[in-house]
Amino acid sequence: MQFPQEGVYAPFIGPFDPCPPIKLKTYSLPPNLFIEFQPPGLPQFSPREALRLGTLWPDLYSPYKSKKNTKEADGG
């Protein structure tokens, strides 16, 4: 199963906002929002891979992507 991992919306931009507007904002949509109950027989990661990824089931895996600029994180 593949579900969207990120949602997008356009916030209200007022005429007197003091800062430059952000025209599109994003938010996280974790996969567990779309699975109402755990169906039997879901495929599973190996125990080693499950520990590395943080979940046993591939359908519930949601990778984390940092929104920070990598240059800022490195101090450059």
CB within 8 Å of 48: residues ≥ 6 apart: none
The mean per-residue pLDDT over the stretch 21-41 comes to 84
pLDDT per position as a tens digit, 34-48: 877 878 888 999 999
pLDDT greater than 90 at residue 75: no
The pTM of this model reads 0.56
CB within 8 Å of 19: residues ≥ 6 apart: none
Enumerate the H helices of the chain as residue ranges.
47-53, 70-73
The mean per-residue pLDDT over the stretch 5-17 comes to 90
